[in-house]
Structure 1
Amino acid sequence: MDIFKKQESKVRSYSNSFPVVFQTAKGCWLETAEGERYLDFLAGAGSLNYGHNNPVLKEALLDYIAADGITHGLDMHSNAKADFLHALNDYILAPRKLDYKVQFTGPTGTNAVEAALKLARKVKNRSTIVAFTNGFHGCTAGALAATGNQHHRQGAGATLTNVTRIPYEGYAGVDGLALFETLLSDNSGGIDKPAAVLLETVQGEGGLNVASNAWLQRLSALCKAHDILLIVDDIQAGCGRTGTFFSFEPSGIEPDMVTLSKSIGGYGLPMAVVLLKPELDIWKPGEHNGTFRGNNHAFVTAAKALEIYWSDAQFETHIQRSSSKVSEVLQRNLAKYPDLFVQEKGRGMMIGIECQSGDIAAAIAKTCFANGMIIETAGPNDEVVKFFCPLTITDAELEQGLNIFEGSVEAIAEKQFKQAS
């Protein structure tokens, strides 16, 4: 561990919660050099929806590398890129009757958000973006301005501007959309007409807050009525995490833009895209670029993941069945330990349980780790325990993880009882 303490910046975070050195990973498991095995209920914060070293994806990648396939090509054409675009259209866009152009940005989610915001401002010739309380969109300047979390915002060292924030559904009992519409319609409301509204339909880092279908439909109609673009940030909630490939599918809305990253690469390889309606594609060549906007290795595994997991409805059915099993356990613990828990949160396998405090959530996560499972927290005060295992998890592995969770909760409850006595 000495080399990490000596050389690595203090900005690291996950390693503080899980202070071991991992050597190998397979499926839902991480293993240290000493042979200690941990169930992974973090999954790269949603970057490993198909598990660690997925054998089918690995085989496709190794074959491509062995054939000296293009690794880096800026935004030049390649067979790997063509295969991905075909797969995206054939398995995702066409079946959902969605017509989007694809922009390849820098390889991280925040790069996609930056590109979407820049394009929205360019299209509408307006500078303001509307974002929501508890939203998280990245840590580069533009995306960070749209992020609500103060811990991340204070890292900027500069004023974060050109974003108007309104209450998300359920926030402090305020009808944020009614307020938004009133301000837009009032010449003295003091709000600059925005170029776009940016949101997560399920807020990941914000605490697994879920926007209802009715609320999303209201927001979409409001944006259309006022000539405002709607951008859905599906970086964490997309690629099946909420039960459908896109998180917004159950609502029936069609965003003007969608940002994807994390599991879009399939294998955990860096990749990010913006899906945009064709009429919005007013970029001039090279006007927004980036050296690593052509990760061909990610194109290979992304295309294969779409082919094997999204060519029929079996994978969605598996996700929904897994979600029901997690929900059953969460509901049982809610009823059994009202002093520890508040409510179940989230949707699909982007699900968790809100604790009475961040200290309780942290204690549960720490105890889970001691018992062989990696699980993290979210929310304004880190009060939500997040179940973010790979979507490919088997029933037996899921049951094993849920048993670890329940055992850890029982240990925390017993400890609190003894302290109270």
Structure 2
Amino acid sequence: MNNQFAPTNDGSLALFDRLESEVRSYVRAFPVLFDRAVGTTLIAADGREYLDFFGGAGALSYGHNNPAFKKALLDYIERDGIVHGLDLATSAKKAFMAAFEQYILKPRGLTYKLQFPGPTGTNAVEAALKLARQVTGRSNIVSFTNSFHGESAGALAATGNKEHRAAAGFPLAHVTALPYEGYLGASVDTLDYFEKLLDDPNSGLDKPAAVILEAVQGEGGINVASVKWLQRLRELTSRHEILMILDDIQAGIGRTGTFFSFEAAGIVPDIVTLSKSLSAIGTPMALILIKPEFDIWAPGAHTGTFRGNNYAFVTARAALETYWSDSKFEDEIARKSAILAAELKSIAADFPNLGLGVRGRGLMYGLVSPKHHSLPALISQEAFRRGLVIEIAGSYGEVLKFMTALTITEADLRRGLSIIRDSIDAVQGSIPASL
């Protein structure tokens, strides 16, 4: 019997150019027909292998086709387990909820209700914003500069990216953007401005229903909020009875070193949004954590046909049982984080003429090029030619964004960093003199 999934051509992308919408994005940066993937290796239809430092934009923190999750899913499919369940009670959903409480909530002393919205991060954000407005009776939301919260209208209104906002085609309202930590320079505490606006009845700021933020901004350029800043923001929102929504869609699920990105600050947000690597294997899944006193939804007030992705429940549970039953996985992330940070600093030091900087937490790092904004794209392109997939981020594309699988081997991590070093050396002479 012929394998219906075997490559049917020589890797040509002509069909994509002819049939797929112009909206396609990543395929333009990485123009290869990919066919298989294992761990941190992407395999093209022609057999060439690529080391993956992209990780599905944060959706593949446990690597591609992790065998622990694949077996659990195949076993579930083999026994005809429920696939589509809306919000019906299923054994897969029950098992995931029990595991999430056992391995994530209880060890951290957290008490949250679980809401399963539509399976995307943007749907989780939409639901969180709707709920905050219902709870407080207010319409305004505060978000922060360089934020990214999704592509649907409500989430997009809270997103800073100019190009994404312009694509909406209509005014995005009911959100006030304030400066994130560091936006006005290291010497300015941007929360002084927020506090002044809240304390002054004539400031013009409509008291917000909620503040939504990322503890580490991913698409915005790996901007890291300090423990002190997060703690002060939590105190400020609590004092003014403003809900705190922590968007952990990209920075959560171990990406910054702990399961939640806010754990180091010791704060407890009112609402937390999760998606991307939550399903562990790349299938769509989103989750909202709600403090019980704010769970005021009427039945069916936020629904979605695909809010019951049972395949995702199966693999998400397997990930919790495999990696989060003790502290070993966090210890391993910390060890590899130290290697990544040290090597990036070494790379920056080896090219002093480029003025490179390093910032990040856990296995979410950026190599920043403030002097030459075109450099990260050149590095990414050269690295791809050398067999490494890595993307860029930031307002001007000035950040080379490292999102390796949390399960990456030390050997692959160092090999990828060696490719980056060689790529910088190869392209540094191509920087336009005017930049």
TM-score scaled by length of structure 2: 0.95
Contact 1:130 1:194 in 2 (8 A): yes
Q: Which letter does structure 1 place at the counterpart of 2:360?
A: G
CA contact (8 A) 1:167 1:175 kept: no
Q: Which amino acid aligns with 1:84?
A: F
The percentage of aligned residue pairs carrying the same residue is: 57
Aligned partner (choices 249, 255, 262) of residue 248 of structure 1: 262
Comparing 134-143 with 407-416, which one deviates more in the overlay?
407-416
* 1:313-392 alignment runs, 5 A limit: 313-355=327-369, 356-392=371-407
Matched AA of 1:397:
D
2:356 alignment partner, SS class: strand
Are residues 1:95 and 2:107 paired? yes
Tell me by how many angstroms 1:335 deviates.
Answer: 1.4
Equivalent residue, structure 2, for 1:398: 413
Give the C-alpha shift of residue 151 in structure 1: 1.0
Q: 1: distance between equivalents of 2:428 and 2:85?
A: 55
Secondary structure of the residue aligned to 2:84 is coil
Match of 1:410 among 404, 425, 429: 425
**Which moved further from structure 2: 252-261 or 165-174?**
165-174
Greater alpha carbon shift after TM alignment, 341-350 vs 161-170: 341-350
Task: Give the structure 2 partner of residue 14 of structure 1.
Answer: 26
CA distance in structure 2 between the partners assigned to 1:17 and 1:204 by the alignment: 18
CA distance in 1 between counterparts of 2:223 and 2:353 reads: 21
List per-residue Cα deviations over 1:86-144 (Å, max 9, x = no partner). 11000000000000000000011000000000000000000000000000000100000
Partners of 2:195 and 2:411 in 1: how far apart?
A: 49
The question of 1:176 aligning with 2:190 is answered yes
The superposition leaves residues 287-307 of structure 1 with CA deviations (integer Å, 9 ceiling, x where unpaired) of 110000000000000000011
Q: Is the 8 A contact 2:375 2:431 kept in 1?
A: no
For the 8 Å contact 1:357–1:381, the answer to whether it is kept is no
Paired with 1:258 and 1:294, the residues of 2 have a C-alpha distance of 19
In the other structure, the counterpart of 2:231 is 217
The aligned residue for residue 276 of structure 1 is 290
Is the deviation greater in 320-329 or in 299-308? 320-329
CA distance in 2 between counterparts of 1:301 and 1:405 reads 32
Q: How far apart are the structure 2 equivalents of 1:27 and 1:15?
A: 21
Matches within 5 A, 1:186-225: 186-225=200-239
Distance in 2 (alpha carbons) for counterparts of 1:222 and 1:414: 48
Partner AA of 1:184 in structure 2: L
The CA deviation at 1:389 is 1.0
1:126 has 2:141 as partner: no
Query: Aligned partners of 2:97, 2:431: CA distance in 1, in Å?
Result: 54
Determine if contact 1:341/1:353 at 8 Å carries over to the other structure: no
The letter for the 2-side match of 1:384 is V
Please report how far the alpha carbon of residue 414 of structure 1 lies from its aligned counterpart in structure 2 after TM superposition.
4.9
Alignment correspondent of 2:164: 152
Match of 1:29 in 2: 41
Q: Distance in 2 between matches of 1:185 and 1:404?
A: 51
Q: Matched residues in 1 for 2:184 and 2:347: separation?
A: 26
Match of 1:66 among 54, 71, 78: 78
Unaligned segments of structure 2, at least 5 residues: 1-12
* Secondary structure at 2:301 match in 1: coil
| 1:258 aligns with one of 272, 288, 291 | 272
Shift of the alpha carbon at 1:415?
A: 5.0
1:49 to 36, 61, 69: 61
The residue identity in structure 1 corresponding to 2:427 is I
Q: Distance in 2 between matches of 1:316 and 1:226?
A: 35
Distance 1:79 1:40 in 2: 34
Misfit runs of 4+, over 6 Å: none
Given that 1:51 and 1:392 are in contact with CA atoms closer than 8 Å, whether structure 2 keeps it comes out as yes
Measure the CA separation in 2 of the matches of 1:416 and 1:16: 21
Task: Identify the residue that residue 121 of structure 2 maps to in structure 1.
Answer: 109
Alignment equivalent of 1:81, drawn from 93, 101, 122:
93
- Point out where structure 1 has 5 or more consecutive residues left out of the alignment: none
- Name the aligned partner's letter for residue 381 of structure 2: K
User: d(CA) in 1 for partners of 2:335 and 2:283?
Assistant: 27
Q: Letter of the aligned partner of 2:179 in structure 1?
A: P
CA RMSD of aligned residues (A): 1.2
Alpha-carbon displacement from aligned partner over 1:64-104 (angstroms, at most 9, x marks no partner): 00000000011000000001001100000000000000000
Rounded Cα–Cα distance in structure 2 between residues aligned with 1:145 and 1:416: 35
Amino acid in the other structure paired with 1:144: L
What amino acid maps onto 1:178 in structure 2?
A: D
Report the number of matched residues: 419
Letter in 2 for 1:395: E
The Cα of 1:416 is off from its aligned counterpart by 5.5
**Which stretch of the first structure deviates more once superposed, 185-194 or 335-344?**
335-344
Instruction: Classify the secondary structure of the residue corresponding to 1:291.
Output: coil
Cα distance in 1 between the residues matched to 2:166 and 2:353: 33
Deviation per residue, 1:39-71 (Å, 9 max, x gap): 010000110001100001000000000000000
Shift of residue 341, structure 1, vs aligned partner: 3.6
TM-score, normalised by the number of residues in structure 1: 0.98
